C-alpha cells in the first residue's frame, strides 16, 4: 500500500467495536481506529462520551487506499453495518453517541456522502426515514487503547458474543463473497 496516496473518512454507525473490527478486515484499509468526533470537549474519555453530555459520537476513522477500495465501497459497508433509520441508537445502544453520522472534509466529499445515502435508500435495504447526519469534520480523538481491536481481544465478552459477533459473521459472509476481505 502506498502511504502517500492514503485518504481518510470518519463516520459513526453505533458502537465502534463492531464497525472498527469489520473495516479492519477489508482489502485496501490501512487502519480503522475507534474514537470520538462531533463534540465540544477536547480529549473526551469513554465515560464522558457515554453520558451523552459531550456531544461526541462513537466513530471510526478509516485510513484507506482509494486505488484498492473506493469511498463508495466504504459507504456500502457503512450502510450494511448499521441501521441508518434509527435516531440516536443502534438496537439496544441508546444515546446521541450512537448516532448515524458521516463527517466530510470538503464539498466534494459531502456530495459523495449525500450520494451514498441516496444509493442506500434506493437499495431498499432499510425501511423508514434515514436520519444519518452529514456533518463537517472538525476533530477526531482516538478512543482509549483498550477499545482498539476490542472485539478481537474480547470475543466472549457478553455484548461481543451476543451483538458484535453475529454482525461480524454476517459481514464476513457478504463481503467475503464479494472478494473484499483480506486473507485471514
Contact at 8 Å (CB) between 27 and 176?
Answer: no
According to DSSP, the β-strands at 57-64 and 29-37 are: antiparallel
Find where cell 469513554 sits: 46
Sign of the Cα pseudo-torsion (55, 49, 38, 73, in order): negative
CA-CA distance, 171 to 166, in Å (whole number)? Answer: 9
CA-CA distance, 97 to 108, in Å (whole number)? Answer: 26
Q: Is 18 a catalytic residue?
A: no
Phi, psi at 112, each rounded to 5°: -65, -40
Catalytic entry in 15, 18, 22, 160:
15
The set of catalytic residues is: 15
Amino acid at each position: 500500500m502506498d502511504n502517500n496516496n492514503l485518504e481518510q473518512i470518519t463516520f459513526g454507525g453505533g458502537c465502534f467495536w463492531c464497525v472498527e473490527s469489520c473495516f479492519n478486515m477489508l482489502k485496501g484499509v490501512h487502519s480503522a481506529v475507534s474514537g470520538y468526533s462531533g463534540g465540544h470537549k477536547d480529549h473526551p474519555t469513554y465515560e464522558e462520551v457515554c453520558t451523552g453530555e459531550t456531544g461526541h459520537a462513537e466513530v471510526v476513522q478509516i485510513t484507506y487506499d482509494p486505488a484498492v477500495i473506493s469511498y463508495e465501497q466504504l459507504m456500502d459497508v457503512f450502510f450494511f453495518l448499521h441501521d441508518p433509520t434509527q435516531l440516536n441508537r443502534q438496537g439496544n445502544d441508546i444515546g446521541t453517541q450512537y448516532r448515524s453520522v458521516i463527517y466530510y472534509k470538503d464539498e466534494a466529499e459531502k456530495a459523495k456522502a449525500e450520494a451514498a445515502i441516496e444509493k442506500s435508500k434506493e437499495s431498499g435495504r432499510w425501511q423508514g426515514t434515514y436520519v444519518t447526519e452529514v456533518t463537517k469534520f472538525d476533530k477526531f480523538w482516538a478512543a482509549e487503547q483498550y477499545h482498539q481491536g476490542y472485539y478481537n481481544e474480547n470475543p466472549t465478552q457478553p455484548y461481543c458474543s451476543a451483538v458484535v459477533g453475529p454482525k461480524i459473521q454476517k459481514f464476513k459472509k457478504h463481503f467475503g463473497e464479494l472478494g473484499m476481505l483480506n486473507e485471514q
